[in-house]
A and B are shown apart, each in its own frame.
Chain A
Amino acid sequence: MMKPALLAFALLLLASAAHAASGKLVLYTSQPDKIAAETVAAFTRKEPGVSLEIFRSGTTEVMNRLQAELLAGDPRPDVLFIADALTMEELKADHRLMAYPGADVVAFPADAYDKDFTYFGSKLITTGIIYNTAASRKPGSWKDLLLPQAKGQVILPSPLYSGAALIHMAAMSGDADVGKYYYAALAANGAVPARGNGAVTSAVAGGEKMYGIVVEFMALNAKAKGSPVDFVFPAEGVTAVTEPVAILKTAKNPAAAKAFVDFILSKEGQELAVRQGFFPARRDVAPPPGFPSGASLKIIPLDLHRAAAESDALKKRFAALFGG
């Protein structure tokens, strides 16, 4: 009488063993070095059967490498974990991404992941205002950067070189409060572009400029280390990028890839992100101390599809306003 139950139990065990991830997983990511290392270590602890091979660099470099591999017909990564969703949208439009409908997205807000389940936001990286503590006035809103006191003192990342900055520009231009002439006003007030968020942080910390538009974790990290800077979540709200993770259609190890996505989206993975200093994307995980709570964080909404369609026009406008 016990035999069928035993058999079923044995089969179940076997089945679950077969589903445990193993083998080699190739990850391409634009997370900063230390953070990527922590992510890898945490995932490996959870899935010891998987050996993770990782390539990390800036988003541009990661995408260049992937592009070259695609062109040569031999794409290597199984999973992509990069900074901005616009790029993911383009990859999706190019039919490069594998849908993963089985992902557990119950605890996530709808706009954190792709409705076709091709990519999933892992955290919220918001863009706000960094200022040097020696500045004459602590800014409280985006409009403060247009004041005479801030003339020639503002530095911002260029959407021509940074996907996150492009998303920021798209969101700001679409916001009713800030208005679509915001960037023109910034340019008229003498703001200068920089290559990326790192350059903005350095410029403000070093005192070359007093104010900057930058992602929150960089500013807060610098402040924590002792740099004379502070960060403000402006009154009108912040823009956010979700640092999405996605599986490539050409993945050689889809099982391990899915396990990785599962880890990122799990409570454990989200708590790791919090420990690293990021806003979690999951609603049921608390943000890091010192951050506004999930409810009080005002995020300027963004229509990704519209932004993707407008991206060329936005870049042209930026180039016309700020030169080049």
Chain B
Amino acid sequence: MSPLPRRGGWDSEPAVFLALLLVIALLAVLPLGRLALEGVAAPGRSLLTSVLAARQTWVAAEHTVVTALLGTLLSVAIGVPAAVLLALSDLRGKAVLVFAFMLPLLIPPQIIATAWIELCGPASPLLRPLGLAPRAGVPNPLYGAGGISLLLGIEHAPLVFLALNAGLRALPRELIEAAQASGAGFWRCLRDIILPMTGAPLAAGASLAFVSAIGNFGTPALLGIPGGYNVLTTLIYRKLAGFGPTVLSEVADLSLLLAIIALIGLFFQGWAMRRRDTSMTGAGAPLRAFPLGRWHRPIAAACWGVVVLIVALPLGSLLATSLEPAYGVPLSLATATLDNYRYVLFADAAAGRAALNSLFLAGAAALVLPLLALPLGLFIAWRGSRIMRLAGQLAELPYALPGVVLAIACILVLIRPLPLLGLSLYNTIWIMLVAYLARFLTLALRTVTAGYHQLDRAMEEAAQMAGAGFVRRLRSILAPLLAPVATAGAILVFLTALNELTLSILLWSTGNETLGIVVFSLEQGGDNLSAAALAVLVVAATVLLMLLAGRLARRLPRGALPWQV
């Protein structure tokens, strides 16, 4: 065979590397750095006079860490069995259960919290018939650390579930069969082979849950304020609710503290994942499901029970509220009405506009971020680049810090016209897109990086050998092989961005409102019913979208969508 010409041209890898560094610098470092300049970092300010010296701050910080750790533990306790059962066993009704486990991401945290408050209150539809309801006048048992941790755990369990699910489906059949041949039953297999080999995606999901927990505002706002239990996010919001010359510097300082906690959590994840060579040669033959045998019924019952608790109850309460004629009027067949839906769909123009805006922003973020994450993950996981790893950690911060902090930072940086283009992004939908990209980058990056840890490097090396340049390797080899984790990341981004509130609320302008903003405005104005109707419509529309995506999935690589069984 006549020899092929040796490939010429330039090596695109360093160019991509620098471009990515620039993107992260612009998205994460620039806004937050600008804000940090208002805090302790500002010239002339000292640590002692800052809010970091106040005892209240450290109490709140301790509460943040405690509730986040407990919440993460619960998320793992829910997410891991769910992922294992749905990826590895022969449980029936898997597609529906997978859908159901992802839904808490779609429901705004305050709705979940409200539903649970009702559930545990004196008028509880569940506890009162059982005689277990607390007496009227007794503070709701959910107020405080326990309730906050419980709800944080429930809200973020889907993060662990999605990440681990993708990792489990990537396990090659031979590895498990080898264990079975050695005499290992399901539990030994799980303990010795499966969980260690999926350590990377599990750690990614768990640390995502942790970071989400420390940055969560809605849940501690509803469950912490009544009991006087403060966390850093509510403290930040409280500072912002006052107005004065010291506010932004205090906010900057508190944000710094939150950022450090987030980075410590990240550091632990990195340390736990070091030196773990669990790479495999890509998707092999599909797994044969573990039979559940006589455990099938009780396990199925338990699964559906958890689904009911986590998803059906808050959704049911939401649905019930949306059908009420007036808030607090007990729902019955006689009183149920569709007026709220009529209002939202036809009378209020804002809802339709907001839906389009949210779809655009969430969709754009869900498309762009996994594309960024693919080369980023490569540099972090396979090239071991220390700079990139640092950049990846910095990319955590826009997600860990409260949305309002990032929004302020974006305003500070983007209100002026951009240097070369002379346009200002402020008051356009583009400033929101930039903020969304900054905030959710880490969701895509975590899942994709974990995917790289599971993939055999020989996949890329063989392509190098064949002469493929960097971009081509990413496009034709790595992207298809990492499609499952990349889509998991895209879904995470989309679902989280669709209901996003705290960023949008400061950055929006006329005509650019998002669904979260419309729901919030309705609630703030006392119109809980229309808010509930809109929230129900959003959930329904998203479920429809996901079903549609399932149809189109035939063109995607196998295992791309988590509920493709």
Give residues in A with beta carbon < 8 Å to B.
Answer: 32-35, 53-58, 60-61, 63-65, 67-69, 71-72, 74, 76, 87, 90-91, 94, 132, 151-153, 155, 158, 160-163, 190, 192-199, 201-202, 204-208, 210, 218, 221-222, 225-229, 311, 315, 319, 322-324
- Tell me whether A222 and B326 are in contact (CB under 8 A): yes
Interface residues of B in 104-152 (CB under 8 A from A): 114, 117-118, 121-123, 136-140, 143
Picked from B328, B506, B524, the residue with its CB within 8 Å of the CB of A68 is: B506
- B460 interface residue (CB < 8 Å to A): no
How many chain B residues sit at the interface, stated as a range, is 35 or more
- Tell me whether A218 and B526 are in contact (CB under 8 A): yes
Picked from A197, A208, A311, the residue with its CB within 8 Å of the CB of B121 is: A208
- Closest Cβ of chain B to A61, distance in Å, is 5
- Tell me whether B327 and A192 are in contact (CB under 8 A): no
A324 in contact with B248 given A53-B510, A226-B326 (CB within 8 Å): no
Instruction: For B247, list chain A residues within 8 Å (CB).
Output: 67
- Expressed in whole angstroms, the Cα–Cα distance for A210 and B136 within the complex equals 9
A61 in contact with B225 given A67-B247, A71-B412, A226-B329 (CB within 8 Å): no
- Tell me whether B509 and A225 are in contact (CB under 8 A): no
- Tell me whether A205 and B524 are in contact (CB under 8 A): no
- B523 interface residue (CB < 8 Å to A): yes
Instruction: For B524, list chain A residues within 8 Å (CB).
Output: 32, 58, 196, 198
Interface residues of B in 34-78 (CB under 8 A from A): 38, 56
**Binary interface encoding of chain B residues 407-428 relative to chain A, with 1 for a CB under 8 A from any of its CBs, else 0:** 1100110011000000000110
Picked from A54, A61, A207, the residue with its CB within 8 Å of the CB of B123 is: A207
- Expressed in whole angstroms, the Cα–Cα distance for A57 and B517 within the complex equals 9
- Tell me whether A225 and B139 are in contact (CB under 8 A): no
- Expressed in whole angstroms, the Cα–Cα distance for A163 and B243 within the complex equals 10
- B226 interface residue (CB < 8 Å to A): yes
- B240 interface residue (CB < 8 Å to A): yes
Give 7 new A-B contacts, CB below 8 A, not counting A198-B524, A226-B326.
A35-B525, A61-B505, A68-B411, A68-B415, A94-B245, A190-B137, A324-B229
- Tell me whether B121 and A71 are in contact (CB under 8 A): no
- B521 interface residue (CB < 8 Å to A): yes
- Expressed in whole angstroms, the Cα–Cα distance for A64 and B408 within the complex equals 7
A206 in contact with B238 given A61-B505, A196-B524 (CB within 8 Å): no
Interface residues of B in 431-461 (CB under 8 A from A): none
- Tell me whether A33 and B327 are in contact (CB under 8 A): no
- Tell me whether A194 and B326 are in contact (CB under 8 A): no
- Closest Cβ of chain B to A148, distance in Å, is 10
- Expressed in whole angstroms, the Cα–Cα distance for A161 and B237 within the complex equals 8
- Expressed in whole angstroms, the Cα–Cα distance for A90 and B509 within the complex equals 25
- Closest Cβ of chain B to A237, distance in Å, is 24
- B3 interface residue (CB < 8 Å to A): no
**Can you show 16 pairs from A to B with CB atoms below 8 A apart?**
A67-B408, A69-B411, A71-B38, A132-B328, A160-B238, A163-B241, A198-B526, A199-B222, A206-B327, A206-B328, A222-B327, A225-B325, A227-B326, A228-B328, A311-B242, A319-B228
Instruction: For A190, list chain B residues within 8 Å (CB).
Output: 137, 139
- Expressed in whole angstroms, the Cα–Cα distance for A151 and B523 within the complex equals 27
Instruction: For B528, list chain A residues within 8 Å (CB).
Output: 198, 202
- Expressed in whole angstroms, the Cα–Cα distance for A153 and B524 within the complex equals 22
- B185 interface residue (CB < 8 Å to A): no
- B522 interface residue (CB < 8 Å to A): yes
- Tell me whether A64 and B240 are in contact (CB under 8 A): yes
- Tell me whether A90 and B327 are in contact (CB under 8 A): no
- Closest Cβ of chain B to A213, distance in Å, is 14
Instruction: For B242, list chain A residues within 8 Å (CB).
Output: 311, 315
- Closest Cβ of chain A to B315, distance in Å, is 17
**Binary interface encoding of chain B residues 216-256 relative to chain A, with 1 for a CB under 8 A from any of its CBs, else 0:** 00000110111111100010011011111101100000000
Picked from B118, B228, B404, the residue with its CB within 8 Å of the CB of A206 is: B118
Picked from A65, A161, A221, A315, the residue with its CB within 8 Å of the CB of B526 is: A221
- Tell me whether B404 and A64 are in contact (CB under 8 A): yes
Q: Can you name the residue of chain A whose Cβ is closest to the Cβ of B63? A: A324
- Expressed in whole angstroms, the Cα–Cα distance for A31 and B426 within the complex equals 23
Q: Can you name the residue of chain B whose Cβ is closest to the Cβ of A202? A: B528
Interface residues of B in 329-354 (CB under 8 A from A): 329, 350
Picked from B123, B221, B245, B411, the residue with its CB within 8 Å of the CB of A195 is: B221
- Tell me whether A208 and B38 are in contact (CB under 8 A): no
- Closest Cβ of chain A to B510, distance in Å, is 6
A161 in contact with B238 given A55-B509, A61-B506 (CB within 8 Å): yes
Picked from B221, B227, B408, the residue with its CB within 8 Å of the CB of A192 is: B227
Picked from B136, B137, B234, B327, the residue with its CB within 8 Å of the CB of A225 is: B327
Instruction: For A315, list chain B residues within 8 Å (CB).
Output: 242
- Tell me whether A207 and B328 are in contact (CB under 8 A): yes
Instruction: For A64, list chain B residues within 8 Å (CB).
Output: 240, 404, 407-408, 506
- Tell me whether B225 and A324 are in contact (CB under 8 A): yes
- Expressed in whole angstroms, the Cα–Cα distance for A149 and B56 within the complex equals 34
Instruction: For A204, list chain B residues within 8 Å (CB).
Output: 328
* Most chain A CB atoms below 10 A, which of B228, B234, B415, B523: B228
- Closest Cβ of chain A to B407, distance in Å, is 8
- Closest Cβ of chain A to B417, distance in Å, is 10
- Closest Cβ of chain B to A75, distance in Å, is 10
- Tell me whether A74 and B329 are in contact (CB under 8 A): no
- Tell me whether B327 and A32 are in contact (CB under 8 A): no
- Tell me whether A57 and B505 are in contact (CB under 8 A): yes
- Tell me whether B243 and A33 are in contact (CB under 8 A): no
- Tell me whether A90 and B244 are in contact (CB under 8 A): yes
- Tell me whether A194 and B226 are in contact (CB under 8 A): yes
Q: Can you name the residue of chain A whose Cβ is closest to the Cβ of B325? A: A226
Instruction: For A94, list chain B residues within 8 Å (CB).
Output: 245
- Tell me whether B137 and A152 are in contact (CB under 8 A): yes
Instruction: For B38, list chain A residues within 8 Å (CB).
Output: 71
**Binary interface encoding of chain B residues 191-231 relative to chain A, with 1 for a CB under 8 A from any of its CBs, else 0:** 00000000000000000000000000000011011111110
7 A-B pairs with least C-beta separation: A323-B228, A152-B137, A226-B326, A32-B525, A205-B328, A192-B226, A324-B228
- Expressed in whole angstroms, the Cα–Cα distance for A202 and B526 within the complex equals 8
A67 in contact with B140 given A72-B416, A162-B241, A207-B328 (CB within 8 Å): no
Q: Can you name the residue of chain A whose Cβ is closest to the Cβ of B137? A: A152
- Expressed in whole angstroms, the Cα–Cα distance for A257 and B301 within the complex equals 64
- Tell me whether B237 and A153 are in contact (CB under 8 A): no
A208 in contact with B117 given A74-B416, A324-B228 (CB within 8 Å): yes
A151 in contact with B225 given A33-B522, A69-B411, A202-B528 (CB within 8 Å): no
Q: Can you name the residue of chain B whose Cβ is closest to the Cβ of A35? A: B525
Instruction: For B525, list chain A residues within 8 Å (CB).
Output: 32-35, 198
Instruction: For B137, list chain A residues within 8 Å (CB).
Output: 151-153, 190
- Expressed in whole angstroms, the Cα–Cα distance for A58 and B138 within the complex equals 31
Q: Can you name the residue of chain B whose Cβ is closest to the Cβ of A221? A: B526
Instruction: For B521, list chain A residues within 8 Å (CB).
Output: 32-33, 56-57
Instruction: For A76, list chain B residues within 8 Å (CB).
Output: 426-427
Q: Can you name the residue of chain A whose Cβ is closest to the Cβ of B328? A: A205
Q: Can you name the residue of chain B whose Cβ is closest to the Cβ of A52? A: B510
Instruction: For A56, list chain B residues within 8 Å (CB).
Output: 521
- Expressed in whole angstroms, the Cα–Cα distance for A222 and B247 within the complex equals 35
- Closest Cβ of chain B to A236, distance in Å, is 24
Instruction: For B245, list chain A residues within 8 Å (CB).
Output: 94
A153 in contact with B411 given A33-B350, A196-B524, A227-B327 (CB within 8 Å): no
- Closest Cβ of chain A to B57, distance in Å, is 12
- Tell me whether B248 and A67 are in contact (CB under 8 A): yes
- Expressed in whole angstroms, the Cα–Cα distance for A210 and B514 within the complex equals 34
- Tell me whether B123 and A192 are in contact (CB under 8 A): no
- Closest Cβ of chain B to A293, distance in Å, is 25
Instruction: For B224, list chain A residues within 8 Å (CB).
Output: 324
Picked from B227, B234, B241, the residue with its CB within 8 Å of the CB of A60 is: B241
